[in-house]
Amino acid sequence: MHQETTISEVVEKAIEDYLNKHQLQQTVEQPKTIAEFIQQNYWRLQQAKIKNIDALARGQKPEQADLVRICSVLNQDFEALQSLAEHSFPENSNVKSEEKDLNGCTGHHS
């Protein structure tokens, strides 16, 4: 059993090294949505056992905990990934902005 685990680990490491090396050589289009980002990194996220990776890749809105796990696995900047997620779901961002605008609004006088 121990040899199988060791062989498996060696194979996974070799595949990861190969993908990392070739990913740097390819011109990968910058993702426009968080779902595209997850799709581009699907293999590594699946290997890290991100539990709802399939739903996120299909476009489900990630929770903050999802973003933290993804950043950790992919060694990404959290703020950049959070910004991409916010831009992927503008209806939610607009609601928050509108609430702030309404709360701080001074343009409408009675």
Output the pLDDT for position 14. Answer: 84
**Segment 22-57, tens digit of pLDDT:** 665 555 678 888 999 999 998 888 888 888 889 999
- pTM for the whole structure: 0.57
Record the tokens describing residue 27, joined without a space.
């011109």
Amino acid at 70: I
pLDDT score recorded for residue 92: 52
25 SS3 class = helix
Segments making up each domain of the chain, as ranges = 32-88
What's the pLDDT score for residue 46?
Answer: 86
- Amino acid 36: pLDDT: 92
By C-alpha distance, which of 53, 64, 52, 54 is closest to 89?
Answer: 64
CB burial readout 67-101, b (16+ within 10 A) else e: bebbbeeeeeeeeebbebbeebeeeeeeeeeeeee
Return the pLDDT at 107: 41
